Amino acid sequence: MYPDQIFNTEAPLHSPSSLRYSLTEEGLALAERLESVERGTKDGPEGDREEVRSEGGEEEEEEGEVGVVDLTGSDHGEEEKEEERVQPACVSQPRSEASSQATTRKANGGRLLPGTYEIILCVDFIETTGGSHHCKQELVKELQRNGVNFDVRKLNVGDFLWVAREKVAPVPGQLRAPVGRELVLDYVIERKRMDDLCGSIIDGRCREQKFRLKRCGLRRPIYLVEECGKAASHLSLPESTLQQAIVNTQVVDGFFVKRVQDVRESAAYLTVMTRYLTKLYQNCTLICRSRELEGDGGGSDEEERGTPSCSLISFQEFNHGAVKNKCQTVREVFARQLMQVSGLSGDKAAAILELYSTPHSLLAAYEQCASEAEKEKLLSSIRYGKLKRNLGPALSRTVYQLYCTQGALS
């Protein structure tokens, strides 16, 4: 029953303070019922209870309180009474659903069980804005046309990767659904057009990017190379040099290299990979692992058997650890210095760091050498990479001259 059904209001529009109220017939009946209920409560003994039989014959205990008396029941049918009985349960439902979700998470021990997550392709926002705007928008349109479930966000390493996002049901009464956990699958893609590859080789970004990809904590790095056809003949480097760089990426660095012709084939490859990973992980129970405890690289038993790894890094930890301009340790700065030397790859720098983790330790080793020739050959016998080849005397001499030559280098 609404207020206008109980009261009649009479007042001039220009004088709200002179508002007068009078009871309608329905309001007068309601007041009489209130008065009778109040009189019965005062007259009866404290705690007195009255048994009331419902139409179905069930007995209910009704407290002698005004709050439980249905004052509008006579004006409406039994259907409205039933709705009023159900209402308190509906009000408490959001809290129960939220607590049940929290209980489920606690029972799973931080794991994502099969069916509780979905595979999402993450696209770096640089791949959708700036530069060749037409080609980048074409990539997004192709992914949408293929029905790929993707999300554009800032990635600190790589251009594409996949996450397993927890499915979280929205809670009634809350504007936004709770944020689900996200674990990064062991696949990350670096996309390179031939002109971009040429520029990254010239300014040194190529080696630095591959080094960061190998140290990001994901075990399956992929190089997606777009052959831009006739445009490759107008680049600063010969095509043979670019092809050799691509081969080195696969053979020396151990990356899987996928060659495509244009942006449409790139979108097709991302679509196929998304569907493949969705099927690959559909029956897996995913466990969150810490990158700090296990280190940056290294394989696993699952990877060696060809089965998907179910021990994954959270997206927040992965992206934070891949920040390019974050505070760096002396070891990391030393590695970057070594990689600026021509011919000194990431594997070779890592091999040197295994023995000499800082410039101070390397200089101390040079001081222990008896002769100049011994200093020049100090690093020549260090083995690197999967084939365990020697670093060689030429590279060892170059590093010695870099750190021990007084004055300007010739």
Domain limits of the chain? 3-46+67-91, 106-321, 330-404
Which two structure tokens, joined as six digits, stand for 327? 């505070």
Residue 127 a catalytic site member? yes
| Res 26 pLDDT > 90 | no
Closest alpha carbon to 112 in 178, 163, 166 = 166
Which two structure tokens, joined as six digits, stand for 323? 């920040």
Which residues, 6 or more positions from 48, have their beta carbon under 8 angstroms from its beta carbon?
64
Closest alpha carbon to 55 in 39, 71, 26, 77 = 77
| Res 177 pLDDT > 70 | yes
Which two structure tokens, joined as six digits, stand for 67? 């709050």
Q: What angle do CA 105, 106, 109 make, to 5 degrees?
A: 90
Q: Angle 359-368/393-404 helices, nearest 10 degrees?
A: 100
CATH architecture for residues 106-321: 3-Layer(aba) Sandwich (3.40)
pLDDT tier, 182 (very low <50, low <70, confident <90, very high otherwise): very high
Tell the CATH topology of 330-404. Answer: DNA polymerase; domain 1 (1.10.150)
pLDDT on residue 42: 52
pLDDT, tens only, 127-138:
876 556 566 688
pLDDT on residue 231: 53
Which residues, 6 or more positions from 218, have their beta carbon under 8 angstroms from its beta carbon?
158, 161, 184, 185, 186, 187, 188, 313, 318
pLDDT on residue 4: 53
pLDDT tier, 228 (very low <50, low <70, confident <90, very high otherwise): low
pLDDT, tens only, 101-155:
554 454 445 688 999 999 999 999 888 765 565 666 888 999 999 999 999 999 9
pLDDT on residue 281: 92
Which residues, 6 or more positions from 131, have their beta carbon under 8 angstroms from its beta carbon?
none
Candidate list 124, 142, 186, 253, residue with the active-site label:
124
Alpha-carbon distance of 218 to 315, in angstroms, equals 11
Hey, which residues does 96 pair with through a beta bridge?
Answer: none
Candidate list 25, 32, 83, 127, residue with the active-site label:
127
Residue 159 a catalytic site member? yes
Alpha-carbon distance of 167 to 112, in angstroms, equals 10
Candidate list 142, 159, 166, 253, residue with the active-site label:
159
Rounded to an integer, the average pLDDT of 297-323 is 69
Alpha-carbon distance of 372 to 3, in angstroms, equals 101
pLDDT tier, 394 (very low <50, low <70, confident <90, very high otherwise): very high
| Res 274 pLDDT > 90 | yes
Rounded to an integer, the average pLDDT of 311-338 is 83
Rounded to an integer, the average pLDDT of 76-83 is 44
